């Protein structure tokens, strides 16, 4: 307890069984309650100077951004009829809030807060609780959130009401004391005492920043490790500076093929592709940093990924390898090939994300990736994976269920950010021949327009649309995609043969 009302009160609450700590989940969301100008500026009847609260909340939001933690804002706003009439009982009790008129500056989110218009959700409410009469509970559930961090104003009113309803909706609650404010200290202190005793944990800003800004630990399940016994490959390890990288080496004397998987795909998930190529090449499938058995890293940009790939090629002594990358891996392959620091035989890029600055956003949201990661961490199975990927072969659904938890949340969030801030076309025109691009004919990632731009900006590349495939080309249409990949690899391995262009 807080000691606010003395040792006697503390003992009474403890004897009653109150004040136990809440369980913190690994998928938090921040709910910023009513930090609108009508509450954060003392020029409004309903307001007070909450500059310190706005500053502290800004710091918390910025810590959360790097890991893709959802931030949801709320605002109270009334129509002209509600303000002028008696239909809202609360306005009869608190007439100062009639200033909170729809469309007025009073209901604007405080401009000092880092709200991203068009990205951060805004819940408009009529009552004290952010849950009452709104879809907030459904939204948090849809985002896969398992803990709510409540900030805002006022501590004794809308914050406390939101905390109570959050618990009643099934969410553990944390309240950073520096991120909530009120018009007077007495009611605020009483509310925080009550929250700590019955509904949530009142914590420090430092604790909150550490919680939302520190990704949950990765885990490799025993069942996932057992999968390696069924893979006809040997684990190989190399160092890229301080990072230990793991790869599955399928062996043989044929030309090496370095395989770079996608954003949430550890090396083993490409096993079904590698097996079909061992008569043509020696596949070496990489656990990209932050995935599978490879270490986490300080950075997850294309430069770091490319340097890791070059270190792996050098460390394993791979002579003039080919590169095969899918999605994120295709972008990495493009950078490695364009940098030309390592001699290559050629490259095959499969459905590379073409999003970037000034382009349409990547079609799968970060929230969707993190929701699937959260499911994997709490324990998922192939049936649940099938709900998202119903057309996948059953073995691939099982592997994803067991291996997705090995992916670092920070790696996923940073890579997704890179999809929209690192431009694929900065590198693609400089990728030397021989090079081929495979893409799903129905892919939302490489659209018809994107394929046309790829063809125009690197005319020597061979483009191959895969009918019936979306972005997950090998999973969606394995027979056609693998046959096309084999033809592309044969062409690259036989440089005397022509490289016909095919594109939609």
**Which residues belong to the active site?**
158
Could you list the beta-strand ranges (E) of 194-281.
201-203, 234-240, 243-249, 256-260
Place of tokens 């490489």: 446
Token pair listed for 87: 């239909």
Q: Is 369 exposed, middle or buried (0-12, 13-18, 19+ CB in 10 A)?
A: buried
Could you list the beta-strand ranges (E) of 7-46.
28-33
Determine what percent of the chain falls in helix, strand and coil, rounding each to the nearest 5: 45, 15, 40
124-158 burial by CB neighbour count: b if 16+ within 10 A, else e?
A: ebbbbbbbeebebbebbeebbbbbbbbbbbbbbbb
Neighbours of 221 (CB within 10 A): 16
Phi, psi of 159 (to 5 degrees): -65, -50
Measured between alpha carbons, how far is residue 298 from residues 67, 95, 123, 243 in Å?
13, 53, 35, 9
Side-chain-side CA neighbours of 380 within 13 Å: the count stands at 23
CA dihedral 55, 57, 59, 62 (to 10 degrees): -130
Token pair listed for 371: 């929701």
Token pair listed for 423: 């431009």
DSSP 155: I
Side-chain-side CA neighbours of 473 within 13 Å: the count stands at 30
Q: Measuring CA to CA, which residue among 309, 326, 301 is closest to residue 420?
A: 301
List 181's β-bridge partners, or say none. Answer: 153
Q: Measuring CA to CA, which residue among 373, 398, 385 is closest to residue 272?
A: 398
* CA triple 202-203-206, angle to 5 deg: 160
Q: Measuring CA to CA, which residue among 161, 170, 116, 149 is closest to residue 29?
A: 149
DSSP 404: G
d(CA 353, CA 340): 21
d(CA 332, CA 325): 7
Could you list the beta-strand ranges (E) of 289-432.
322-326, 346-350
Q: In this structure, is the dihedral angle defined by the CA atoms of residues 394, 397, 402 and 403, taken in order, positive or negative?
A: positive
d(CA 421, CA 472): 22
Cβ 285 vs Cβ 309: under 8 Å? no
């Amino acid at each position: 307890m807080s000691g606010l009302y003395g040792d006697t009160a503390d003992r009474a609450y403890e004897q009653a069984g109150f004040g136990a700590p809440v369980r913190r989940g690994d998928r938090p969301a921040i709910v910023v309650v009513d930090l609108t100008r009508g509450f954060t500026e003392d020029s409004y009847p309903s307001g007070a100077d909450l500059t310190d609260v706005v500053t502290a909340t800004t710091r918390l939001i910025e810590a959360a951004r790097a890991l893709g933690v959802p931030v949801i804002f709320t605002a109270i706003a009334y129509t002209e009829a509600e303000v002028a009439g008696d239909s809202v009982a609360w306005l009869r009790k608190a007439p100062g809030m009639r200033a909170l008129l729809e469309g007025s500056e009073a209901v604007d989110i405080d401009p000092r807060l880092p709200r991203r218009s068009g990205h951060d959700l805004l819940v408009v409410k009529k009552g004290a609780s952010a849950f009452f009469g709104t879809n907030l509970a459904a939204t948090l559930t849809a985002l896969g959130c398992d803990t709510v961090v409540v900030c805002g104003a006022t501590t004794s009113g809308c914050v406390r009401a939101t905390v109570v309803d959050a618990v009643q909706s099934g969410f553990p609650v944390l309240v950073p004391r520096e991120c909530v404010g009120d018009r007077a200290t007495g009611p605020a202190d009483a509310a925080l005492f009550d929250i700590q005793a019955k509904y949530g944990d009142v914590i420090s800003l430092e604790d909150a920043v550490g919680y939302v800004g520190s990704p949950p630990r990765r885990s490799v399940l025993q069942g996932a490790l057992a999968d390696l016994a069924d893979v006809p490959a040997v684990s190989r390890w190399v160092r890229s500076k301080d990072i230990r990288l793991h790869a599955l080496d399928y062996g043989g004397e044929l030309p090496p093929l370095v395989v770079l998987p996608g954003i949430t795909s550890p090396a083993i998930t490409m096993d079904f592709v590698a097996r079909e190529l061992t008569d043509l090449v020696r596949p070496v499938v990489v656990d990209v940093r932050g995935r599978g058995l490879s270490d986490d890293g300080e950075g997850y940009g294309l430069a770091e990924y490319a340097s890791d790939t070059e270190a792996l090629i050098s460390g394993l002594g791979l002579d003039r390898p080919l590169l095969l990358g899918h999605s994120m891996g295709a972008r990495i392959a493009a950078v490695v090939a364009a940098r030309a620091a390592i001699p290559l035989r050629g490259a095959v890029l499969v459905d590379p994300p073409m999003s970037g600055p000034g382009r349409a956003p990547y079609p799968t949201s970060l929230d969707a990736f993190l929701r699937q990661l959260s499911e994997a961490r709490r324990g998922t199975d192939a049936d649940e994976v099938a709900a998202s990927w119903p057309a996948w072969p059953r073995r691939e659904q099982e592997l994803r269920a067991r291996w997705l938890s090995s992916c670092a949340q920070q790696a996923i969030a940073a890579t997704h950010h890179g999809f929209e801030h690192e431009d694929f076309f900065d590198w693609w025109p400089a990728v030397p021949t021989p090079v081929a691009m495979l893409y799903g004919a129905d892919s939302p990632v490489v659209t018809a327009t994107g394929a046309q731009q790829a063809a125009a900006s690197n005319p020597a590349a061979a483009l191959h649309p895969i009918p019936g495939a979306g972005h997950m080309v090998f999973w969606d249409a394995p027979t056609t995609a693998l046959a096309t990949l084999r033809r592309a690899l044969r062409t690259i391995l036989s440089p005397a043969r022509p490289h016909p262009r095919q594109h939609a």
